Chain A
Amino acid sequence: MPYDYKPFPYVAPPGLSAPEPPHKVVIVGAGPIGLAMALDLANRGVPSVLLDDNDVVSMGSRAICWSKRSLELFDRFGIADKVLDKGMTWSVGRVCHGDDEIFSFDLAVDPGQRMPPFVNLQQYYVEEFLVERALAQPLIDLRFRNRVTGVDQTGEAAHVTVKTPDGQYGLTADYVIACDGARSTTRAMLDLDFEGEFFEERFLIADIEMEADFPPERWFWFEPTFHDGQSALLHRQADNIYRIDLQLGWDADPEEEKKPEKVIPRIEKVVGADFDLEWVSIYSFQCRRLREFVHGRVIFVGDSAHVVSPFGARGGNGGLQDVDNLGWKLAAVLDGRAPASLIDSYNRERVQAADENILQSTRATRFMTPANGAERLFRDQVLALARKAPFARGWVNSGRLSTPCVYALSAPDDLSLPEISRPGTVAPDAPQQNGWLLNELGRDVTLMALNCAAPAGLDLPVIAPRINDMIRARYLGDARQALYLVRPDQVIAARWVEADARQVRRAVDALWEGR
């Protein structure tokens, strides 16, 4: 059954009849990232106007793999259970050369974490669930068929011009967040360009429906016989929908290749004749970003700020991590709880993350589509070696899947504590009596006191998790006790085996100053 694209209602906005009072935040674009941004701000008490030029969710499925960290964020937005319920949890990937499997990997569902490593769910469902939450959230003013056609700013405020079916109006806001995707109008309005690499390769991406019972595993082929010498990917989604990616070569004519009479025979060679074509598109990919994500009162988040090839699932997942990073900072600046410079740390940290995502995606794309000469020689020989030597399997790159970036913080640390919870990492989850550590961390800067009392005289929430094996492995190692300072985005800001109130206070100050 193909997805039913129900249009969301357009309502004539108040700004058409009389100027609207200034808003705190205007978000341009209600894709997954704009929706998540509005929900995160609302969770922190910040109202926003969310504008989208369209009135339906993403056409075609696009993103399918959602990472553990994204699921943890979905939990904060109240849609994780629906995503887990509807989606396909998977952990096994198989990598083939020719028609033989050369190795498989298992990302292994960790019983000590609430969320699995990955869930596959079509982007339109994720957007549908997010829209539902946004419409129910009184702090979000979601306006469909409101196309932003102009953006400009003074030192004090940003202005957008919006076109609707009933005419044009303007909005003023403290901040404009551009979540308008890879072809961002806002980016064009500010005369900004992406920098980076474009790949001269075309891929056919199709979603097909079939009653097969392929396991929910990621299958990747280098040079399969069914697709003469190019690469192919097969991955299961919800509703018996499967994603197929086929490398086509740069000379392929996109219009020609999109025609069902061309597409169907190609796919038949992969899965047989018994399927329906739901969606097909031809892509070439880029790994590029804006030099800066913050431009005064205009902030770029998601695909408007950076784009990657999809091998590694770093686009949508990376964008959601942008949201996680920006939400608490912007809320604090708008409330006057932090200096505007805190927002610069969004730029610094998410540029670091984008560079990591771009590096990983570029390497994977290059491995899949090597240039002739030495690149192709080594690629082919890594594949040949992988059949006979275990070490070479790790060198085979069909995409390094999204994990959160570890921010480069110069924060107090104690090297005797475990590496996986060092400052800059997202706090690893662990079970607690009735729930999970990440749910106990809440939305504020929190001090986690393990096997010790928090220093007296601190004005911040303290949690004292129950010590179990998982907590010990992730947060204590051989230490008897520890203190962890955790940011509102659940990133570890600093940690000590022992600290006094002054040391903790200093780390809290650094955190709010974005250092």
Chain B
Amino acid sequence: MKLIDTPNLDDHDGFYAELLAAHRGLSEAQSHALNAQLVLILANHIGDRQVLSEALDLARKR
């Protein structure tokens, strides 16, 4: 597995708050749009197909 699924982000509480703040005041559709753009931007930044596939698997896992 190439995907990092252990703690890797400094100030994750701060990021989480920033993520929620970015959605503040948006309609549901606008929120979906923002999330979709975010996924695309981060996917491009990560730039590793295997990591992305593993991330999709993890997200789909119940």
Contact = CB atoms under 8 A, between A and B. Distances in A.
A389 B36 contact: no
B41 A385 contact: yes
Contacts of A384: 33, 37
A382 interface: yes
Contacts of B53: none
B20 interface: no
Contacts of B33: 377, 380-381, 384
B32 A389 contact: no
A378 interface: yes
Interface in B1-58: 32-33, 36-37, 40-41, 44
A382 to B, nearest CB: 6
Given A378-B36, A395-B40, 20 more contacts: A377-B32, A377-B33, A377-B36, A378-B40, A380-B33, A381-B33, A381-B36, A381-B37, A381-B40, A382-B40, A384-B33, A384-B37, A385-B37, A385-B40, A385-B41, A389-B41, A389-B44, A391-B44, A392-B40, A392-B44
> What class of interface size applies to chain A in its complex with B?
10 to 19
Contacts of B40: 378, 381-382, 385, 392, 395
Nearest to B29: A377
B26 to A, nearest CB: 14
A395 B32 CA distance: 19
Nearest to B40: A385
A221 B51 CA distance: 33
22 contacts: A377-B32, A377-B33, A377-B36, A378-B36, A378-B40, A380-B33, A381-B33, A381-B36, A381-B37, A381-B40, A382-B40, A384-B33, A384-B37, A385-B37, A385-B40, A385-B41, A389-B41, A389-B44, A391-B44, A392-B40, A392-B44, A395-B40
B15 to A, nearest CB: 20
Interface string A382-399: 101100010110010000
Nearest to A381: B36
B19 to A, nearest CB: 17
Nearest to A379: B36
A391 B44 CA distance: 7
A377 B33 CA distance: 7
Nearest to A378: B36
Contacts of B41: 385, 389
Contacts of A378: 36, 40
A382 B37 CA distance: 7
B51 to A, nearest CB: 16
B20 to A, nearest CB: 20
Interface in A342-387: 377-378, 380-382, 384-385
A380 B44 CA distance: 17
A391 B32 CA distance: 20
A159 to B, nearest CB: 51
